[in-house]
A and B are shown apart, each in its own frame.
Chain A
C-alpha cells in the first residue's frame, strides 16, 4: 500500500469507475443473464399454457362427441322400440284380419255345406217320393189289374205322401 484515501470521502475517479462497472455489468447481465432466462421462463410458460389449452380443447371435443354419440344411441334405442312396437301392432292387426277372414270363410263354408245338405235332402226326398209314387202306382195297378192313368193318380198319391211326410217331419 502506498497510502490510504479518506475513510469518508468521495473521489470522482472512483465514482466514474463505479458507474462504468455498473453500466458494463448492467449491459452484460441483461444480455447474458436476465433476458435469456426471462425469455426461457416465458416461452416455457407459454408452451405449458398452450399444452394445457390443447388438452382442454381435446377434452371438451371428446366430451362433445361422447354426448353426441350417447344422444344418437338413445335415439336409436327409441327408434328401434318404435319400430318394434309398430311391427307388433301391425302383426296383431294382421293376425286379427286373418282370424276374422278365416272365421268368415269357415262360416261361409259351413253355410254352403248346410245348404248343400238341405238341397240333397230335398232332392232325396223328392226322389223317394217319385219312387214311392211309381211303386204305389205299380202296386195299385197290379192290385186292380188294369192300367191306372198315371198322370191322374200321381197327384193323388203325391198328396198322400206329402201328408205322410208331413207327419214324419
Chain B
C-alpha cells in the first residue's frame, strides 16, 4: 500500500533559449482545456442569443443577471463594469476545480502558481485603482494610517492579502485531493481487512468494495461544494478589495 501525494505532473519538457527548461505540466493542460471549454460554451450560447430566449439562453441570462446583481450589491452600481472579470474569475476557478473530478486532468486550482497568479491580479487591480482614484501620494500615505507606527503592519497586511487568498484557494482544493487520496488508501486497507478470509489468489480479482460509493460522496463535498465555495470566496474577496479601491463617483469628488 503506497499513497503518493504529488504536485502537478510533468508531461514533457523542452529547452528554450533564454527561458531555459520549460516543463509542460498537468496544470498547463488543464488551464488550456478549461479555457477552450469555456470559450466553446460561450460561442454556443452566443450563437443562440435571441430576443425570445430558448432553454440554454434562459439559464445563461439567469446566471449573468445573478452575476451582475452580485457585483452591483458588493461593489456598488457604478462598478458593474467589473462583472465580466469577476464572472471569468469565478468560471475559471470553479471549472478549474471541477476538472479534477474527471481523474484525467488535475485541478488547476490545486497548483499554487495558478491561485497566486489570480491573487496577484486582484492585488494589481486594487493598487491600480487606488492610485488612479486617490493619487499615488495618498495611496502611499494610506500605509501610515491611522498612525505612523502601524506602517510595517500595513505593509505586511498588504502583502498578506494575496498570499492568504492564494493559499486559501490552493489549500482547500489540494487538501481535498490529499484527503481523498488518503481515504482511498484507508478504504483499500479496510476492504482487504474485511475480505481477508478470501484466498489471495481470488482476492486479487475482487474490487476493493469499500472504495465504491464512499469516495463519491466525499467528492461531492471536497470537489463540488468546496470548489464552489472557494470560487465564490475568491471572487467575493476580489470584489470587496477592488470595490473598496473604487468608491462611488460622488464620494470621490469630496
A residues whose Cβ falls under 8 Å from a Cβ of B:
1-19, 21-22, 24-26, 28-30, 32-38, 40-41, 43-44
Contacts and interface: CB of A to CB of B under 8 A. Distances in A.
* Category for how many chain B residues contact A: 35 or more
Question: What 3 A-B pairs are tightest by C-beta distance, nearest first?
Answer: A14-B113, A18-B117, A33-B42
A116 B64 CA distance: 118
A19 B60 contact: no
B247 interface: no
B182 to A, nearest CB: 14
Contact of A25 (B10, B25, B35, B174): B35
B121 interface: yes
A153 to B, nearest CB: 139
Interface of B: 5-13, 19, 22-23, 25, 27-28, 31-32, 34-35, 38-39, 41-43, 45-46, 49, 51, 53, 57, 60-61, 64-65, 67-68, 83-85, 87-89, 91-92, 108, 111-114, 116-118, 120-121, 170, 174
A37 B59 CA distance: 11
B174 A18 contact: no
B201 to A, nearest CB: 31
Contacts of B41: 33
Q: Is the interface of B mostly helix, strand, loop or mixed?
A: helix
A11 B11 CA distance: 15
Contacts of A22: 88-89, 92, 117-118, 121
Nearest to A6: B7
Contacts of A11: 23, 25, 111, 113
- Max count, chain B CB within 10 A of own CB: residue among A1, A14, A33, A43: A33
A29 B46 CA distance: 10
Nearest to B63: A37
A98 to B, nearest CB: 80
A24 B35 contact: yes
A4 B35 contact: no
Nearest to B6: A4
Nearest to A11: B113
Contacts of B31: 17-18, 21
